[in-house]
């Protein structure tokens, strides 16, 4: 494996600038959730030009590109949609410039997470040049709609297209660390009813606004009471109110309807049923009545026209530090770079909520760029990270092969 590592490192260095230029080209073609078509077509051409063995687009619009013909399936995944740019005035360079300067690639998606996609294409080219063969087929997946509904693309692939990997790597940003889990999440909606009356005599009604205020404070209290997981690897769950709306028959009336929307992060051992029951109890304890607590559903048309629905629940996942995939990742990194990687976890959520959290397929994370860059203005990633990750993705199949 030592000779192979040297070859992989040499090719990753050879294609360093090419990888950065590919990333810049991706950034210059905007692709938000459900509007990724032009970016997918660009990636398809990049994979075809790099000599991948098979390149196809699934029914939801994700791109799948294969290298090898082994009986076991290793997937390396990047979502290729991005969030919007926010306030353009906060950007020093145009958000879709793809500027490369002083070893940095600038632009929306450079870290979250087109950098992973660019490194994947280079890894596929390296594997083709080194004639990777054996038990592992490597599938590079460039998936859609993650920013709107993380894991939806993989729920569709696994459940509808029966595309089931043996192992998976997410290339979301990890600062070139190796990650083995993150908290899950869910979205919770609270509907509260009051009784309207004329604003000149509020004592005749029941204000949904005051009930909503008590509910918001109850959620704040609940957040403080949530506990971390037993081994304190993922940390505590959280809940926060992200939206409040109150309405009634007029501006001169006591409001009779309120809505609170909550973001709930789930640590190990927490699930959707527990989270909803906790909110219900918190509201009752705060004296709130006439309420309903439920989990909304995501339902949007993909750019292909396909509508695929999912409840907004994204299960917690982790794999053990001594899992064979983690050990293979540590070994691949060590043989490439002469030291062990930092093994840690994400703060945010990824497609692994479906691959591992929902379907139990072991996952690790390893990606270029920093988690703190995600969704921020002036997003960047380092060209050096792209080179490191391209080498890691190319080395992992060889390491898995030699570990058997």
Q: Any idea which residues carry the catalytic annotation?
A: 81, 146
Count the residues in the chain.
404
Measuring CA to CA, how many Å separate 80 from each of 32, 35, 243, 284? Answer: 8, 11, 27, 43
Question: Judging by DSSP bridges, how do beta strands 167-170 and 363-365 pair with one another?
Answer: parallel
The Cα 27–Cα 81 span in angstroms is 10
DSSP 8-state assignment for residue 82: B
- Inter-residue contact 61 to 44 (CB < 8 Å): no
> To which residue do tokens 């409001």 refer?
255
For 101, phi then psi, to 5°, come to -155, 130
The Cα 378–Cα 304 span in angstroms is 31
Close Cβ partners of 213 (under 8 Å, ≥ 6 residues apart): none
The Cα 383–Cα 13 span in angstroms is 11
Closest among 164, 161, 185, 150 to 313, alpha carbons compared: 185
Measuring CA to CA, how many Å separate 138 from each of 12, 18, 111, 143, 168? Answer: 17, 21, 23, 15, 10
The Cα 315–Cα 212 span in angstroms is 28
The Cα 342–Cα 356 span in angstroms is 21
List the beta bridge partners of residue 261: 189, 243
Structure tokens at 373: 């860059």
Closest among 197, 190, 202, 156 to 307, alpha carbons compared: 156
- Inter-residue contact 219 to 239 (CB < 8 Å): yes
> What value does the CA radius of gyration of the chain take, rounded to a whole number of Å?
23
For 45, phi then psi, to 5°, come to -65, -40
- Inter-residue contact 36 to 303 (CB < 8 Å): yes
The Cα 289–Cα 174 span in angstroms is 44
């Amino acid at each position: 494996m030592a000779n192979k590592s040297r070859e992989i490192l040499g090719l990753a260095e050879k294609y360093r600038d090419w990888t950065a230029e590919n990333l810049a080209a991706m950034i210059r073609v905007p692709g938000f959730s459900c509007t990724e078509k032009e970016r997918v077509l660009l990636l398809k051409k990049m994979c075809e030009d790099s000599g991948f063995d098979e390149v196809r687009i699934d029914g939801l619009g994700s791109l799948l590109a294969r290298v090898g013909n082994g009986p076991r399936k290793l997937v390396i995944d990047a979502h290729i949609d991005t969030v919007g740019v926010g306030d353009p005035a906060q950007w020093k360079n145009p958000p879709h410039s793809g500027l490369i300067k002083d070893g940095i690639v600038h632009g929306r998606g450079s870290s979250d997470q087109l950098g992973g996609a660019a490194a994947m294409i280079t890894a596929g080219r390296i594997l083709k040049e080194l004639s990777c063969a054996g038990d592992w087929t490597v599938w590079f997946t460039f998936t859609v709609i993650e920013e709107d509904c993380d894991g939806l693309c993989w729920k569709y692939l696994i459940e509808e297209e029966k595309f089931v990997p043996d192992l998976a790597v997410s290339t979301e940003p990890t600062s070139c660390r190796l990650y083995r889990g993150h908290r899950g999440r869910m979205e919770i909606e609270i509907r509260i009813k009051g009784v309207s009356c004329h604003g000149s005599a509020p004592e005749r009604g029941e204000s949904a606004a005051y009930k909503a205020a008590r509910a918001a404070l109850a959620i704040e209290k609940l957040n403080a009471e949530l506990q971390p997981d037993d081994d304190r690897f993922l940390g505590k769950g959280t809940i926060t109110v992200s939206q409040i709306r109150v309405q009634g028959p007029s501006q001169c009336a006591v409001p009779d309807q309120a809505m609170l929307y909550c973001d709930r992060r789930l640590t190990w051992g927490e699930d959707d049923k527990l989270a909803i029951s906790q909110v219900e109890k918190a509201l009752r304890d705060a004296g709130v009545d006439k309420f309903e607590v439920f989990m909304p559903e995501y339902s949007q048309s993909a750019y292909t026209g396909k509508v695929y629905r999912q409840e907004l629940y994204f299960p917690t996942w982790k794999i053990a530090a001594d899992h064979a995939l983690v050990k293979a990742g540590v070994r691949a990194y060590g043989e490439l770079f002469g030291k062990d990687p930092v093994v840690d976890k994400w703060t945010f959520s990824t497609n692994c909520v479906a691959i591992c959290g929902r379907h139990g397929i072991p996952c690790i994370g390893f990606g270029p760029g920093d988690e703190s860059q995600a969704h921020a203005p002036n997003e960047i990633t380092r060209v050096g990270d792209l080179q490191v990750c391209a080498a890691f993705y190319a080395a992992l199949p060889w390491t898995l092969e030699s570990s058997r």
